[in-house]
Amino acid sequence: MKISKELISESEIQSKINEIGDQINEDYEGQDLLIIGILKGAFITVSDLAKRLKVDVSFDFISVSSYEGTETSGQVKIEKDLDIDISGKNILIVEDIFDTGLTLSYLKKILDSRNPKSLEFMCMFIKDTDKTTSLDIKYHGFKIGPEFVVGYGLDFEGKYRELPYLAVLS
């Protein structure tokens, strides 16, 4: 497979990250924040965002699986849990892409039961598809069409994550 089309450029993505970083700095001023990145796709978003943050922030990662190839399996499983106890903390979950919402609504249920002080979501890309859930995403990057995308952390069979822009495959 070859990359057919750049959907969102590196500079558009970086200016959106700046915008979201500024907003987070304002919203969490004077407070602690624990950012939880969902592996593997969110690693680039978390690392770019981290460099913009001025609040008292720490990081952890969780790994879940929900997809195989380009098809949803409808299954969400925790592959690697958090290392940090989140009770009483302000949590921001960072996800690469929001499609049906299955992954995040599942995580919300699990993490809410661990009694965080607050729990919010950031998604870099939101797919314009039927949602199985109506989750409130506090920080979002770009709305995109229903096509399968790669780059900026998103893969196809383990490849293309390193691209600094978002693309569709042919």
Tell whether residue 120 is a contact of ligand 5GP (CB under 6 A): no
User: Peptide bond preceding 40: is omega within 30 degrees of 0, i.e. cis?
Assistant: yes
Q: Is 67 in the site for ligand 5GP (CB under 6 A)?
A: yes
Active-site choice (48, 99, 136, 155): 99
Annotated active-site residue 83? The verdict is no
Dihedral angle of Cα 149, 100, 124, 31, to the nearest 10 degrees: -160
- CB distance 153 to 17 below 8 Å: no
> Which position among 18, 25, 63, 100 is part of the footprint of ligand 5GP (CB under 6 A)?
100
**CA 161, CA 156: separation in Å to the nearest integer?**
8
The answer to whether 150 contacts ligand 5GP (rule: CB under 6 A) is: yes
CB-wise, 28 or 141, nearer to ligand 5GP?
Answer: 141
Q: Does residue 93 bind ligand 5GP (CB under 6 A)?
A: no
- CA atoms lying within 13 Å on the CB side of residue 19: 12
Is 81 exposed, middle or buried (CB count within 10 Å of its CB: 0-12, 13-18, 19+)? exposed
Answer for which of 17, 92, 102, 167 binds ligand 5GP (CB under 6 A) is 102
Work out how close the CB of 81 gets to ligand 5GP at its nearest, in angstroms, rounded to a whole number: 17
Q: Which is nearer to ligand 5GP, 58 or 65 (CB)?
A: 65
Residue type, 2: K
Active site residues: 99
Report the interface residues with ligand 5GP, using CB under 6 A. 41, 66-67, 72, 95-103, 127, 148-150, 154-156
